[in-house]
Amino acid sequence: MIQFLRCYRHDQPSEVVARLEDLPDDPESDRLVWVHLVDPTDDEVAAVTGRFGLPPPPTARSHAIRPWIRRSEASTYVAVRYPPDPEDPSTGRTASIDAVIAEGVVMTIASGDAPDLDELVEDLEGQVVIVAHGAGAVVLELFSWSIRRFRSHFDGIDDRMGTIERALFSDGRTDPTREIYNRAREVVELRRAANTLEYPLDQLSRDELPGFDQQLRAWFVDVGHGVERLVGQLDAYSDALLNALQAYLSKVAMRQNDDMRKISAWVAIAAVPTAIAGIYGMNFGRNMPLLDSEWGFPTVMALMVGACAYLYVRFRKAGWL
């Protein structure tokens, strides 16, 4: 049985201390106490750690320097990274849930914008076999939940990749570089966050840590394989975005080449009447042919049109126009 105590801090006096006092001093052997604190005060954290004899979690500074897993004589500290909301990844941020695990008790600490874990608690309560292995089952479920949250981004990335491909191979002069950059940045941030899952999972699957028995370590191996597949999929997205950018740049270069050939062809066609008009405009008097003929002007105009038409046909056959 899981006893889930949750404390949210919204400028109101916390009830976590009173709820802790309601717990019996001699808990049942098969009961798992999970205390989840959201933006807790130092007094609230001290109340929980004092009630269960847990060490305090690392400070914010040491958390930033030394990340994701730490052990003491009777407890283990793990930080589980998770990605932002897949519905609007651009406004969210990658964050972590800190967990302190000891025999029969788990304390988790999250920020105020962390997702609700009620559904996760319900799922875990239905997995009696896993819960029977103690407090480490909560951390196992947290890592599995984090991986599912990472994978929930994939549908959105697939849709936006399809939009990029349609823009890339359309006949219009669309520019998908901004979208490619935004998607690449999203994938890089997810990849960086997913990398932080590998080290703690490796430690949890190999080392004997307080709150984690041998069976849990075997399950953490499976979760670690899930992270490897997750990272592989993110790498595939990154490669696809790089290829899309290179394809777009190649398309731009080819389009510029086509434009230059068209410009050159029209310049060559326009040069014929310009040259003829320039020659007849030099005013050499009667030494110029056709000046005295009544058919001179139509003949010269026909020569201009014929030469331009000939060049146009040749450029069309050559694919320049």
Residue 235 has pLDDT above 90, yes or no: yes
CATH of the domain at 311: 1.20.58
First to last CA, the chain: 78
Average pLDDT for 38-52: 82
Q: Are 41 and 159 in the same domain?
A: yes
Residue 290, by phi and psi: left (phi above 0), alpha (psi -120 to 50) or beta?
Answer: left
* Whether residues 205 and 298 fall in one domain: no
Q: Are residues 75 and 200 in the same domain?
A: yes
Kindly write down the DSSP assignment for every residue of 288-320, as one continuous string. Answer: STTSS-TTHHHHHHHHHHHHHHHHHHHHHHTT-
Q: Tell whether 262 and 202 lie within a shared domain.
A: no
For 124, the token pair is 């875990």
Task: Quickly state the pLDDT bin for 35 (edges 50, 70, 90).
Answer: confident
Alpha-carbon distance of 194 to 202, in angstroms, equals: 13
Task: Show the beta-strand stretches assigned E in 39-155.
Answer: 69-71, 76-82, 95-102, 105-110
**pLDDT digits over 79-89, tens only?**
888 888 777 65
Q: Answer yes or no: do 75 and 195 share one domain.
A: yes
What the block records as the tokens of 182 is: 């935004």
Yes or no: say if 54 and 107 are a contact pair by the CB < 8 Å rule: yes
Q: What angle do CA 212, 148, 191 make, to 5 degrees?
A: 95
pLDDT score of 61: 47
Q: Are 64 and 198 in a shared domain?
A: yes
Query: Are 184 and 272 contained in the same domain?
Result: no
Identify whether residues 222 and 296 lie together within a single domain. Answer: no
* CATH number for 22: 1.20.58.340
Domain end, chosen from 206, 233, 251, is at 251
- Is there a single domain that holds both residue 258 and residue 125? no
The range of the structural domain enclosing residue 15 comes to 2-251
For the chain, the domain total comes to: 2
Contact 37, 10 (CB under 8 A): no
Task: Say what the pTM is.
Answer: 0.74
